[in-house]
Structure 1
Amino acid sequence: MASRTAPFSPFEFLIAWRYLRARRAEGGVSVMTWISLIGITLGVAALIATLAVRAGFRAEFVDTILGSNAHVTVYSAPMEVVEGSGVYSSLMRDYQVRAERVAAIPGVTRAAPLIRGQVMATKDGRSNVAEVYGISAADLQTIPRVANPETALGSIEQFGEGIAIGSGLARELGVGLGDKLKLISPEGAKTAFGTSPRVSAYTVTYIFTAGRWDIDRTRIYMPFAEAQSYFNREAGADEIEVMVEDPEHLEPLAVPLMRAGGDGTLLWSWQDSSSSFLRALDIEDNVMFVILSILVLIAAMNITSGLIMLVKNKGRDIGILRTMGLTEGSVMRVFFLCGAFTGVIGTIAGVTLGCLFAIYIDQVMSFVNWLNGGGVWDPSIRGIYELPAKLQGADVAKAVILSLGLSFVVTIFPARRAARLNPVEALRYE
């Protein structure tokens, strides 16, 4: 009859479950079971929480880049202004024609001429270095993180009447809506005695928070025509800011953009400026996954210790079951299920705990800040203002597969040991 017993029959589950229910005489087995369960729970929870935080950080970091900066910048290599003059300039004088050709490329959503320059922004004795972007009002309204920021003061519709600045810069200089902000540029008027600094005051009509600490603390948007005059770029543009439909895959657009830009065209993408940081994030993700996987393995190894103790304590029972007709396979499956129960329950608890951590990450960070008196998350170092988390099904699946796989594998050795126990030896002294 034993030979006709189907694998993993209900009685095998029943016996395994009874063995896992601790009795006072088997307290050691119970303790090892609980240690294994808690270890797997914490290991899986830590793995899921870490993967969620890393995914959220990368998504937020990339979104702030793509939402506030050009996906691709088209600019010109320095070219001789007049043949034989020895004077070189990278200014685009045919920027309108180039922008129209670039905008006509399939996959390009916007091509906006830009003026860029650095200034010293001052107000009431306070000063800070700022980067000025000269852009038209219509083009400014198509920048997601500026036109639809996390928070904003004023109206972007009034951009033509003054300038737009980041909230960090406004806070640094103590600037509010309607205040005059003085900008000082070394590229001023050219006189017989050289180039004198240019000082101009502009009304702040819009204050935005793009979500990136470095952008909010340094960026100023100025109307395109005013920027041309301020930086001595009359009838020209420094570059063309290009937005595309799929910024993650820019390679197919490289050749069309080069052709549309004309002779001397150079390209610089957001991936070029951030590739080293993103690669570092990918490497860190892999390293953290390996480290936390080792922690899950260590927790799973406790299952082996608990099962070895259980097999030793249940030697008499194993002998009786074998004499009653249970095969080695049935005995092996019983003790395999003992370890598998621990792994499954621990994995379910770990997934629940890790998902709750990721979902309530804001409350968790608020509590950690409260414990440490604030300042745990420094945006000046990490670039973004808060620790984000993004739960992904693939990450949860990886954690579940890893935990269950390790839990099942480590139970095989003690389960086989139990199955091969000689019933005569097990009952000799009973």
Structure 2
Amino acid sequence: MTAPFASFEWTIAWRYLRARRAEGGVSVMTWISLVGITLAVFALIATMAVRAGFRAEFVDTILGANAHVTVYNSTYDSETGVSSRLIADYENMAARLAGLPEVTRAAPLVRGQVMATANGVNAGVEIFGLSQADLMTIPRIAAPEEAWGDIARFREGIAIGSGIARELRVGIGDRIKLISPDGVKTPFGTSPRVNAYEIVYVFTAGRYDIDRTRAYLPFTEAQSYFNREGAADEIEVMVAAPEDVDALAPALLEAAGDNALLWTWRDASGSFLRALDIEDNVMFIILSILVLIAAMNIVSGLIMLVKNKGRDIGILRTMGLSEGSVLRIFFICGAAVGVLGTVAGVVLGCLFVVYIDPIFSAVNYISGGGVWDPSIRGIYELPARLQARDVIAAVGLSLGLSFIVTIFPARRAARLNPVEALRYE
């Protein structure tokens, strides 16, 4: 009994693949299927890498510049009978939260929206009031992609995003005015509060919406500016495992107190992340269909090969070759196309991901610039992350489809009647 995939089966299959078309060898359709599988696998790997990179960059900018969990109070009536959500005992609450083993930082925060003005230009700005020590623990602010000035002078002025600096046309040492409608209360009503601050630090966090709208003031100065003396708006909490933040919610609520509420980074961006996951799955399915279409071309090419090699099949069968051997010979021919196309696609896809920056720069240059608008996409460049699971999924899908579709024409070749094949020879 012949062993499966014996050496002579490989030899015959290799001869068929090398034969010229005039000799009944591989048809143009087979070459088309080879190119098709290569491009489909390349597109699948490149797309999944870009999607993985985009999600990782988006999550990194969220976790690197924002609180993992925000703790705030529900509405209550203060001693004066006014409804409030301020945290009066913020130091003790922050200490209790920081005492949890999963928490790496708990910082009181004063937060408000103002209008910033300089050089006759106005811009809406969101102010975050933090202490110097707490500001230094925010990765995308203390160690951003780009920074100007000295963060050590934070107590002496204001730190702003590069988008604000660009819009207001200001730099280090310049002064900007902050205008808040909720200012000094007088017998005639509330008058706007206008304060001027020196710009001591400019940062680029890596997300356009943060760089364009965010500024930091020292905590005590923000308390005074927003009439929050002796209170904070919320507590920013950083945890060691942000991905598991939902599991930490009960412990955080217990430490914060009965009146506390939580808002996690998943609550803020969960819908967007879910949309990314759905898009990933849809893109994989769509590109899988492209791989299937390319693999189906193998069937056409292999059917043509079987037709051209009908005489050879008849001779081999009369010499004693079994149906299984014939099936395996043509299976090797078809599978070889799938394997070669998959390997070529993986190489092209990996090279594209590795050199995506110069490729994208070239595309941007050829098109005259403006291909990537950070104000729309939120980040400044096209990210890509090559993950082993994505490559393995692409390889498994391509090889699996190629092997499956090859079986049908290979079975047709194996069942070819040698008498019919040699009748007119």
Q: Same fold (TM over 0.5)?
A: yes
Choose from 254, 263, 279 the match for 1:259. 254
1:319 counterpart = 2:341: no
Which residue number in structure 1 is paired with residue 173 of structure 2? Answer: 178
Which residue number in structure 2 is paired with residue 420 of structure 1? Answer: 415
1:94 counterpart = 2:84: no
In the alignment, the residues of structure 2 paired with residue 194 and residue 64 of structure 1 have an alpha-carbon distance, to the nearest angstrom, of 41
Deviation at 1:251, TM superposition (A): 2.3
Which residue number in structure 2 is paired with residue 229 of structure 1? Answer: 224
**CA deviation map 1:236-263 (0-9, x unaligned):** 0000000000011112211111111112
Which residue number in structure 2 is paired with residue 49 of structure 1? Answer: 46
Deviation at 1:22, TM superposition (A): 3.7
In the alignment, the residues of structure 2 paired with residue 50 and residue 31 of structure 1 have an alpha-carbon distance, to the nearest angstrom, of 28
SS in 2 for 1:205: strand
In the alignment, the residues of structure 1 paired with residue 258 and residue 324 of structure 2 have an alpha-carbon distance, to the nearest angstrom, of 76
In the alignment, the residues of structure 1 paired with residue 152 and residue 183 of structure 2 have an alpha-carbon distance, to the nearest angstrom, of 29
Choose from 279, 286, 290 the match for 1:284. 279
Which residue number in structure 2 is paired with residue 74 of structure 1? Answer: 71
Q: Is the 8 A contact 1:43 1:299 kept in 2?
A: yes
1:114 counterpart = 2:132: no
Q: Is the 8 A contact 1:68 1:210 kept in 2?
A: yes
In the alignment, the residues of structure 2 paired with residue 27 and residue 321 of structure 1 have an alpha-carbon distance, to the nearest angstrom, of 16
Which residue number in structure 2 is paired with residue 308 of structure 1? Answer: 303
Bigger drift between 249-258 and 281-290 goes to 249-258
Choose from 115, 121, 127 the match for 2:122. 127
In the alignment, the residues of structure 2 paired with residue 260 and residue 317 of structure 1 have an alpha-carbon distance, to the nearest angstrom, of 81
Deviation at 1:32, TM superposition (A): 1.2
Aligned pairs (5 A) from 1:146-295: 146-295=141-290
Paired residue type of 2:405: V
What residue ranges of structure 2 are gaps of 5+ in the alignment?
A: none
TM-score normalised to the size of structure 1? 0.98
- Equivalent residue pairs, number: 425
**CA deviation map 1:62-88 (0-9, x unaligned):** 000000000000000111112xx5411
Paired residue type of 2:130: I
- Go from structure 1 to structure 2 and tell me whether the alpha carbon gap of 1:27 and 1:225 turns closer, same or farther (over 3 Å shift): farther
In the alignment, the residues of structure 2 paired with residue 301 and residue 255 of structure 1 have an alpha-carbon distance, to the nearest angstrom, of 53
In the alignment, the residues of structure 1 paired with residue 405 and residue 346 of structure 2 have an alpha-carbon distance, to the nearest angstrom, of 20
SS in 1 for 2:242: coil
Paired residue type of 1:414: P
Deviation at 1:28, TM superposition (A): 8.2
Bigger drift between 70-79 and 20-29 goes to 20-29
Q: Is the 8 A contact 1:75 1:238 kept in 2?
A: yes
Q: Is the 8 A contact 2:160 2:199 kept in 1?
A: yes
- Go from structure 1 to structure 2 and tell me whether the alpha carbon gap of 1:171 and 1:28 turns closer, same or farther (over 3 Å shift): farther
In the alignment, the residues of structure 1 paired with residue 25 and residue 317 of structure 2 have an alpha-carbon distance, to the nearest angstrom, of 25
Choose from 32, 57, 62 the match for 2:59. 62
In the alignment, the residues of structure 2 paired with residue 188 and residue 291 of structure 1 have an alpha-carbon distance, to the nearest angstrom, of 56
In the alignment, the residues of structure 2 paired with residue 13 and residue 166 of structure 1 have an alpha-carbon distance, to the nearest angstrom, of 65
TM-score normalised to the size of structure 2? 0.99
Which residue number in structure 2 is paired with residue 20 of structure 1? Answer: 17
Q: Is the 8 A contact 2:27 2:305 kept in 1?
A: no
Deviation at 1:26, TM superposition (A): 5.1
Aligned pairs (5 A) from 1:377-416: 377-416=372-411
Q: Is the 8 A contact 2:25 2:308 kept in 1?
A: no
Paired residue type of 1:39: G
Which residue number in structure 2 is paired with residue 38 of structure 1? Answer: 35
Paired residue type of 1:313: N
SS in 2 for 1:5: coil
Paired residue type of 2:50: V
Deviation at 1:364, TM superposition (A): 1.4
Identical positions, percent: 73
In the alignment, the residues of structure 2 paired with residue 28 and residue 367 of structure 1 have an alpha-carbon distance, to the nearest angstrom, of 41
Which residue number in structure 1 is paired with residue 323 of structure 2? Answer: 328
Q: Is the 8 A contact 1:20 1:30 kept in 2?
A: no
Alignment RMSD, CA only?
1.0
In the alignment, the residues of structure 1 paired with residue 253 and residue 2 of structure 2 have an alpha-carbon distance, to the nearest angstrom, of 72
Which residue number in structure 2 is paired with residue 349 of structure 1? Answer: 344
Deviation at 1:24, TM superposition (A): 4.2
Bigger drift between 36-45 and 369-378 goes to 369-378
In the alignment, the residues of structure 2 paired with residue 26 and residue 247 of structure 1 have an alpha-carbon distance, to the nearest angstrom, of 64
In the alignment, the residues of structure 1 paired with residue 255 and residue 313 of structure 2 have an alpha-carbon distance, to the nearest angstrom, of 80
